[in-house]
């Protein structure tokens, strides 16, 4: 007799003959291959929900429509190129591949490109940033300052190889040759352009804080020639907008052509439609100025002549009345006439002016002597105060090896390590020059 247990085992083995048994990993792998082959390079339309940015720079979210939900992931290398803000409720069109995440057995869309539905990505990013900065008051009219008339020193932030700087030089040369121009050469498009533009504006302001009054920049022209929205994008970046807003020097924005508008135009104190127009706004035509001066001089001469004629009539009337009075006095009494003549002599300007002139000279001499005595008496005290002020001069302190660190782009002094975070940009001012750094760790 055979063992029943053995018979049962043989029966199960026979039943399993011809069946292939998969592991979970095998099934998941095959599904992954199948989905990858079937759904590779597809466009998917949906609404973003549950958007979750990770510290790694990846973005995780769901794409949904009326009846279904699809998980999606945007890895950091792709997310870095997305200009607009990913937020719940935004309708988008995504390009990518369906893949399976084996640890969870979950399929998801690996996104290689993402666009807002019905609007370009750059246009949406522009509208999002514009709305946020306007809410903060960066476009407010009360913040805008007047552009100085006929400035002696003009700062220009642009590329040295572009058409903008040539147009500005050409206009300024034609209109007024005596103006002094200081150019900060920067990239105006591509990687690093926004940082260079913002830093140049900050550096001009930093220079003005320590420069003598006669050497300070009175107005800034920030801009470039025309191009596509992508070419002009550096002037739509937030760091550039905040650098213009924080500038103590009035800023004229001159980006692109007349039809082009950027965030920089909205923040600046004045928007010029082109770089050439900016140069025409900041410096009047010398011939126009001379013509205006000639006209003013003509009006002044005419007004002076009218006033002189009016006073001449008054003077002749007074002389006539005085002569009548004197003749009357002579008729009455010779002694009274002599007294009146002496009184008139005492108020005669020809007599009074030399007397007052001598008094003024004497007073000036006394003031000079007393000032000289005062300076000698207080000279030692003044020297002591000067030495004390010199010892408190921040630049002298920096020369002894110390430094001052600012948080960019606001250029506020950092007093506490907790006021900065990893990834932020800081500027360290040394005795000679400065250093721009990115914070990697805060202790």
Distance CA 181, CA 161 (A): 16
* Both tokens assigned to 77: 């290398």
pLDDT for the residue numbered 265: 92
Contact between residue 331 and residue 340 where contact means Cβ atoms under 8 Å apart = no
Confidence of residue 82 (pLDDT cuts 50, 70, 90): confident
Distance CA 199, CA 318 (A): 71
Other Cβ atoms within 10 Å of 319 Cβ, number = 10
Distance CA 311, CA 318 (A): 10
The dotted CATH code for 127-284 is 3.40.50.2300
Give yes or no for residue 222 having a pLDDT over 90. yes
Report domain 22-118's class.
mainly beta
Distance CA 103, CA 240 (A): 44
Q: Mean pLDDT throughout 40-59?
A: 88
Q: How many helices (H) and strands (E) does the chain have?
A: 13, 14
* Both tokens assigned to 398: 């920096």
Half-sphere exposure (CA, 13 Å, Cβ side) for 335?
0
Q: Is 108 exposed, middle or buried (0-12, 13-18, 19+ CB in 10 A)?
A: buried
Query: 375-406 pLDDT, tens per residue?
Result: 676 666 666 666 666 665 666 666 666 778 88
Report the range of poorest mean pLDDT among 156-170, 196-210, 300-314, 338-352: 338-352
Report the range of poorest mean pLDDT among 31-35, 80-84, 167-171, 177-181: 177-181
Query: 333-347 pLDDT, tens per residue?
Result: 556 656 666 666 665
User: Model's pTM, two decimal places?
Assistant: 0.50
Only one residue has tokens 């999002």, namely 128
Query: 237-256 pLDDT, tens per residue?
Result: 999 999 999 999 999 998 98
Pairing of strands 69-74, 106-116: parallel
Other Cβ atoms within 10 Å of 431 Cβ, number = 14
pLDDT for the residue numbered 340: 61
pLDDT for the residue numbered 195: 94
Alpha-helical (H) ranges within 333-348 are: 334-346
* Phi, psi dihedral angles at 87 (to 5 degrees): -145, 155
* Phi, psi dihedral angles at 182 (to 5 degrees): -120, 120
Distance CA 325, CA 276 (A): 71
Confidence of residue 233 (pLDDT cuts 50, 70, 90): confident
Distance CA 426, CA 437 (A): 5
- Give residue limits of the domains in the chain: 22-118, 127-284, 290-384, 398-438
Report the range of poorest mean pLDDT among 1-5, 106-110, 219-223: 1-5
CA dihedral 189, 194, 200, 205 (to 10 degrees): 140
Going by C-alpha positions, the residue among 426, 424, 423 that lies closest to residue 437 is 426
């Amino acid at each position: 007799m055979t063992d029943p247990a053995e018979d049962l085992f043989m029966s199960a083995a026979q039943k399993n003959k011809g069946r292939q048994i998969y592991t979970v990993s095998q099934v998941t792998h095959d599904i992954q291959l199948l989905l990858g082959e079937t759904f590779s390079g597809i466009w998917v339309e949906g609404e973003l929900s549950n958007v979750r940015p990770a510290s790694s720079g990846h973005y995780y979210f769901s794409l949904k429509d009326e009846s279904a939900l699809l998980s999606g992931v945007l890895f950091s290398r792709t997310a870095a190129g997305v200009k607009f803000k990913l937020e719940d409720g935004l309708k988008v069109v995504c390009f990518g591949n369906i893949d399976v995440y084996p640890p969870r057995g979950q399929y998801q869309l690996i996104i290689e490109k993402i666009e807002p539905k019905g609007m370009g990505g750059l246009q949406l990013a522009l509208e999002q940033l514009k709305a946020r900065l306007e809410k903060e008051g960066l476009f407010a009219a009360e913040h805008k300052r007047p552009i100085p008339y006929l400035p002696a020193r003009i700062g220009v932030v642009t590329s040295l190889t572009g058409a903008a700087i040539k147009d500005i030089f050409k206009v300024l040369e034609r209109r007024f040759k005596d103006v002094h121009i200081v150019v900060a050469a920067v990239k105006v498009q591509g990687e690093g352009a926004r940082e260079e533009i913002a830093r140049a504006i900050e550096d001009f302001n930093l220079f003005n804080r320590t420069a003598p009054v006669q050497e300070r920049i009175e107005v800034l022209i920030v801009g470039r020639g025309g191009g596509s929205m992508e070419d002009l994008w550096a002037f739509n970046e937030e760091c550039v907008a905040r650098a213009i807003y924080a500038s103590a020097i009035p800023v004229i924005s001159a980006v692109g052509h007349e039809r082009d508008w950027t965030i920089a135009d909205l923040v600046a104190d004045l928007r010029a439609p082109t770089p050439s127009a900016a140069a025409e706004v900041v410096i009047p035509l010398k011939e126009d100025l001379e013509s205006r001066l000639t006209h003013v001089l003509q009006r002044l001469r005419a007004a002076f002549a009218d006033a002189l004629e009016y006073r001449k009539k008054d003077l002749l009337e007074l002389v006539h009345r005085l002569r009548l009075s004197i003749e009357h006095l002579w008729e009455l009494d010779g002694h009274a006439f002599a007294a009146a003549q002496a009184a008139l002599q005492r108020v005669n300007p020809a007599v009074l002016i030399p007397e007052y002139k001598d008094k003024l000279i004497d007073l000036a001499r006394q003031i000079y002597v007393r000032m000289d005595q005062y300076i000698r008496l207080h000279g030692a005290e003044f020297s002591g105060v000067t030495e004390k002020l010199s010892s408190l001069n921040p630049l002298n302190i920096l020369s002894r090896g110390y430094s001052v660190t600012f948080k960019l782009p606001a250029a506020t002094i950092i007093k506490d390590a907790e006021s900065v975070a990893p990834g932020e940009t800081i500027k360290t001012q040394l005795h000679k020059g400065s250093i721009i750094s990115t914070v990697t760790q805060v202790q």
